């Protein structure tokens, strides 16, 4: 452990109070601005905060020393078979729990690590001041969604004899629709349609839907927050008779089948052009301040009002309109639209 100087802050020690809230990730926007101002003005305060960062690092090492590392390696071989281009993809995965091998008790290693923590802490504070924003604002990535398999390329269909499959990894949470599949679209359409990028797209027939439980980059659930706003983007290709209506929603699934109860925090409906070619998708979601909702979809008679605040959100994309119409989706993304929700 590092030796912290003995501090006896009084009740008015604002820096100590604000920095403690920063460490606990409980600092609001006004607190961010005030702490930034105090650190800019007081070099001694910056030094104290750097020492506190070092202490927190050592404490975390003592209490929770384990590390988790997931390593995935892909080997891609491109060749020609029977005069036709072919591609083979091999994947290997490695999971490591615990730190990599190192000489325990090495004073040099610990000193280097500690020096990095202190230097990194001071540099981070200085960078935040120079850029006009403080480091704590970067901590709230837990409210930033990251769609999994957003380009539909996780599954390799090159060896699939039909070029399509009903299994869409990460896109069948809670519910599965028999009218949606994953396609290597250039092969399935015999060269009529090509993916916006990569090889695969999601094909949605009339009445089909895709759902994904929302997570951040660390796997934590995205929950409904008052005033939160999100932006869904991507590309869509329409085929068949109009109207081509795409209905999207951020939902809370209170119960799955057979006693299904769903609540919609927000939904949008978009009518797309029947013109051929890929069209950009741009859908804004605004949850609003009041999150009390009645069920939007239910298979039971009970329809209780529910406050959706802090409940896990699921993205739903539904094909509506003409039952004979078809949607192709590619390169989807969901991002925060405006300030990161807290």
pTM: 0.59
Regarding whether 170 and 281 lie in a shared domain, the answer is yes
Distance CA 181, CA 166 (A): 4
Distance CA 200, CA 168 (A): 11
Regarding whether 200 and 90 lie in a shared domain, the answer is no
Per the structure, the complete domain to which residue 229 belongs is given by 164-336
Contact residues for 87 (Cβ-Cβ < 8 A; gap 6+) = 76, 77, 78, 79, 158
Question: What is the widest separation between alpha-carbon atoms in the chain?
Answer: 81
The backbone region for 236, taken as left when phi is positive above 0, alpha when psi lies in -120 to 50, beta otherwise, is beta
First to last CA, the chain: 33
Regarding whether 231 and 116 lie in a shared domain, the answer is no
SS (HEC) of 202-258: EEEECCCEEEEECECCCCCECECCCCCEEEEEEEEEEECCCCEEEEEEEEEEEECCC
Regarding whether 262 and 315 lie in a shared domain, the answer is yes
Regarding whether 77 and 200 lie in a shared domain, the answer is no
Q: Is residue 57 part of a domain?
A: yes
Q: Is residue 273 part of a domain?
A: yes
Per-residue tens of pLDDT for the chain, all 342 residues: 445 444 444 434 788 888 888 877 777 777 888 888 888 888 778 778 777 777 776 666 555 555 556 666 666 666 665 666 666 666 665 655 555 554 344 444 444 444 444 344 444 444 344 334 444 443 345 579 999 999 999 999 999 999 999 999 999 888 888 899 999 999 999 999 999 999 999 999 999 999 999 999 999 999 999 999 999 999 999 999 999 999 999 999 988 778 788 899 999 999 999 988 999 999 999 999 999 998 887 777 777 899 999 999 999 999 998 999 999 999 999 999 876 555
Distance CA 222, CA 265 (A): 13
Asked whether the CA dihedral 35, 126, 107, 102 is positive or negative, the reply is: positive
Q: Is residue 170 part of a domain?
A: yes
Distance CA 264, CA 296 (A): 6
Q: Is residue 181 part of a domain?
A: yes
Task: Classify each residue of 1-17 as buried b or exposed e, where b means 16 or more C-beta atoms within 10 Å of its C-beta.
Answer: eeeeeeeeeeeeeebbe
Count how many domains the chain has. Answer: 2
Regarding whether 292 and 174 lie in a shared domain, the answer is yes
Regarding whether 195 and 131 lie in a shared domain, the answer is no
Regarding whether 309 and 216 lie in a shared domain, the answer is yes
Q: Which DSSP category does 27 fall into?
A: -
Q: Is residue 47 part of a domain?
A: yes
Regarding whether 207 and 122 lie in a shared domain, the answer is no
**Structural Rg of the chain based on CA atoms:** 26
At residue 195, φ and ψ (nearest 5 deg) are -60, 150
Q: Is residue 277 part of a domain?
A: yes
Regarding whether 322 and 177 lie in a shared domain, the answer is yes
Here the tokens at position 131 are 């850029």
Q: Is residue 308 part of a domain?
A: yes
Question: What CATH number did the domain enclosing 311 receive?
Answer: 2.60.120.260
Q: Is residue 222 part of a domain?
A: yes
Distance CA 267, CA 287 (A): 9
Regarding whether 74 and 33 lie in a shared domain, the answer is yes
- Contact at 8 Å (CB) between 143 and 340? yes
Regarding whether 130 and 169 lie in a shared domain, the answer is no
List residues bridging with 95 in a β-sheet: 70
Distance CA 29, CA 49 (A): 19
């Amino acid at each position: 452990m590092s030796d912290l100087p003995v501090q006896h802050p009084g009740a008015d020690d604002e820096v100590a109070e604000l920095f403690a809230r920063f460490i606990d990730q409980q600092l609001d926007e006004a607190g961010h601005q005030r702490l930034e101002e105090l650190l800019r003005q007081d070099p001694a305060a910056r030094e104290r905060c750097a020492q506190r960062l070092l202490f927190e690092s050592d404490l975390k090492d003592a209490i929770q020393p384990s590390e988790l590392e997931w390593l995935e390696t892909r080997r891609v071989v491109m060749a020609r078979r029977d005069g036709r281009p072919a591609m083979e993809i091999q994947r290997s995965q490695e999971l490591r729990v615990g730190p990599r091998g190192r000489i325990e008790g090495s004073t040099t290693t610990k000193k280097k690590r500690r020096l990095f923590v202190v230097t990194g802490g001071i540099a981070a504070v200085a960078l935040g001041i120079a850029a006009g924003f403080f480091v704590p604002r970067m901590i709230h990535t837990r409210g930033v969604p990251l769609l999994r398999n957003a380009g539909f390329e996780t599954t390799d269909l090159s060896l699939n004899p039909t070029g399509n499959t009903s299994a869409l990894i990460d896109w069948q949470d809670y519910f599965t629709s028999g009218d949606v599949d994953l396609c290597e679209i250039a092969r399935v359409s015999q060269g009529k349609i090509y993916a916006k990028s990569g090889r695969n797209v999601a094909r949605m027939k009339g009445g089909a839907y895709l759902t994904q439980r929302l997570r951040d980059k660390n796997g934590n659930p995205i929950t409904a927050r008052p005033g939160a706003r999100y932006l869904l983007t991507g590309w869509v290709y329409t085929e068949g008779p109009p109207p081509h209506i795409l209905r999207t929603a951020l939902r809370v699934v209170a119960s799955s089948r057979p006693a299904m109860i769903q609540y919609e925090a927000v939904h949008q409906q978009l009518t797309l052009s029947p013109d051929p070619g890929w069209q950009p998708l741009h859908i804004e979601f605004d949850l609003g301040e009041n999150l009390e909702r009645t069920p939007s979809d239910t298979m039971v008679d009970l329809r209780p009002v529910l406050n959706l605040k802090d409940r896990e959100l699921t993205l739903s994309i539904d094909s509506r309109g003409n039952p004979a119409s078809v949607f192709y989706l590619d390169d989807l993304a969901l991002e925060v639209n405006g300030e990161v929700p807290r």
